[in-house]
Amino acid sequence: MNDQPEPPMMRRPPPRGQRPGPPRQEPYRPPLAWSQEPSQPRRHAPAQGDDRLQGRPGYAPRQEPEPIPRDDRRRPPGPPPRRPASRPPAQPPRRAASAAPPSKPRRSRKPRRWLRIALVVLLVLLITPIALLFYYDTKLNRVDALADYPGRIGDTPGTNWLIVGTDSRSGLSQADKDKLATGDSDGARTDTIMLAHFPTSGRPMLVSVPRDLYVPIPGQGSHKINSAFNTGGPKLLVQTIEEFSKVHIDHYIEIGFGGFDSLVDAVGGVEMCLTKPLRDPKAGLRLKAGCQELNGAQALGLVRTRAFPNADLERVVNQRKFFAALMSKATSPGVLLNPFRLIPFANGAVAAVTVADGDHLWDLAWLAYKLRDPLTTTLPTDGDQVTDDGDSLIPGSTTTSFFEYVSKGVEVPKDLLSSSDGSPLR
C-alpha cells in the first residue's frame, strides 16, 4: 500500500462558450501532528561489531543518538531557542548641555573648620584665665589677721578693707636694697594705714588713717596707732581699729617693699601729676613738677617720702592718689587683655601682697575694680599734741562722727571730708 500523498489534480479549462464555474474547493484536512506524519522508509545501519557487512557498498556504521539533557526532553525537536542578547542597562537620555539646570555648589567645609577653631580658641581664652586665677591664689601669702577676740564688733553695713603698707624688705637682695634706697632695717613697721569703705549706696571711699593718730591699744595703753602693728602685728592692728572706730573689718591686705617696684613696672608704670618738684635723697627720689609716668623705683620713693612741710599728712595724700591710679591702671583693658602685662602683674602681686586667711585673689580683683575712681579723704582729727610718743594727732568729735557714718554704711557729709591736698572740702 502506497502511503505517498496523491498529486494535486490538474484542472482543465472550461469549453468555449461556457462560463467558468466557481473554483472547486478541496475538502479541509487538518494538519497532522509530527508524530502522525507518514514515516519514510529508513535504511537501518548494521549493528556495530558486525564484520560481515563491512566493506559492502552503502554500509555506514550505526550511530547511537546522544542523550538529550533532562530539562530538554519535553522540548520539541528543532533548533534551540535563541536567547536574547544581553543589553546594557538602560540609561536616561542625556540632556543637552544648554538645557541642564545649574548644579548647586557643594557646601565648603572651611566655615565648619573655622568654627571649630574659633570654639577652641574661645575655650582656651576662658579656661586659661580661670586656671591662672586659681594657680596664683594658692601662691598668696596669708596671715591670721581677722581672728575673733572677746567682745568683737559684729558685721556693719557695707564692706571694709584695711590696707596696710609696711617697710618689710623680705625678698629683696642687697642689690635691690641699694637700687631702691630702702636701707637695711629688719622686721616690718607700718607707715601707711588706709581704710577702703564700700557703702551700701554711694561712691566708694579710700580713707587715710594717719600713723600718728593717738588711740588706745588693747593691752598696751594709748599710743600712736602704728605701734599696734609694730608690737602685735596685723591681728592687734585690726583689733585696735575695730574697737576705736566701731567698724567691722571684713578683709585685710598688706603691701611690703619686696615686689612693689615690679608690681608697678608690670603695668607699664603709673601716671602721677605733681604740683611741685620732689627731692628726697633718703628715698632716692628726684621728680619734676607736672604729669609724668613713674616706674617702680620712683613710685616706691613717692609713697615713702616725707619731705613736705606737713610731713606725714601730705604723704598720705600722695599714697592715696598713687594707690587709686595703680588700681585704675591694673584694671584697664591694656593690662587685663595683655598676658605680657597681666602675668607679670600677678607675679608682682603675689610677691608683694599678704592677705588674711579666707581672702582670695578674686577678692583683690574686686577691690581693684571698685577703687578705680574712689572718693579719697583723710580721717579728721582735732589737731596735733605732744604726748609720750612725741607729736601725735588727737582724735576728737569729728573723728567720732566720721566713723559713725561709716559704721552705718551711709554717705559721709562733705564737712567731714578733705580735698586731695588735705584741706577741708567746701
Write the CATH number for 233: 3.40.630.190
Residue whose C-alpha is closest to residue 238's, from 140, 356, 354? 356
Number of domains in the chain: 1
- Indicate whether this model's pTM tops 0.75: no
Residue whose C-alpha is closest to residue 315's, from 422, 412, 393, 226? 422
So what's the pLDDT on residue 56?
54
Helices then strands, each counted (H, E), the chain: 10, 15
Query: Cα separation of 284 and 269, whole Å?
Result: 17
Query: Cα separation of 395 and 246, whole Å?
Result: 14
Whether 39 is covered by a domain: the verdict is no
Looking up cell 604726748, which residue turns up?
A: 387
Whether 58 is covered by a domain: the verdict is no
> Is residue 376 helix, strand or coil?
strand
pLDDT along the chain (426 residues), means of 10: 52 59 62 55 50 52 59 57 61 57 59 82 79 85 89 91 79 60 59 90 89 91 90 92 94 82 86 86 84 88 78 80 87 85 84 89 89 89 89 92 92 81 46
Q: How many CB atoms lie within 10 A of CB 211?
A: 20
Do the strands 251-255 and 159-166 form a parallel or antiparallel pair, or are they unpaired? parallel
Whether 284 is covered by a domain: the verdict is yes
In what helix (H) or strand (E) does residue 143 lie, and over which residues does it extend? strand 141-143
Burial class of residue 161, CB neighbours in 10 A (0-12, 13-18, 19+): buried
The four Cα atoms 327, 331, 333, 338 give a dihedral, to 10 degrees, of 90
Q: Which amino acid would we find at residue 318? A: N
Whether 100 is covered by a domain: the verdict is no
Whether 67 is covered by a domain: the verdict is no
Query: Whole domain around residue 396: which residue ranges?
Result: 131-411
So what's the pLDDT on residue 13?
59
In what helix (H) or strand (E) does residue 258 lie, and over which residues does it extend? none
Do the strands 190-198 and 159-166 form a parallel or antiparallel pair, or are they unpaired? antiparallel
| Residue 309 CA: distances (Å) to CA of 277, 306, 313, 314 | 14, 8, 9, 8
Burial class of residue 411, CB neighbours in 10 A (0-12, 13-18, 19+): middle
Whether 197 is covered by a domain: the verdict is yes
Query: Cα separation of 326 and 163, whole Å?
Result: 14
Cα dihedral 106, 110, 114, 120 sign? positive
Query: Cα separation of 243 and 216, whole Å?
Result: 9
The four Cα atoms 376, 377, 378, 380 give a dihedral, to 10 degrees, of -160
Return the C-alpha cell found at 353: 601682697
In what helix (H) or strand (E) does residue 154 lie, and over which residues does it extend? none
Per-residue three-class SS string for 218-254: CCCEEEECHHHHHHHHHHHHHHHHHHHHCCCCCEEEE
Beta strands per DSSP E along 262-333: 270-274, 278-280, 285-287, 290-294
Cβ pair 329, 268 in contact under 8 A: yes
So what's the pLDDT on residue 75?
56
Whether 41 is covered by a domain: the verdict is no
Question: How far does Cα 56 stand from its chain's mean position?
Answer: 114
Looking up cell 636701707, which residue turns up?
A: 183
Residue whose C-alpha is closest to residue 259's, from 141, 339, 152, 338? 141
Cβ pair 303, 165 in contact under 8 A: yes
Whether 333 is covered by a domain: the verdict is yes
How many residues belong to the chain? 426
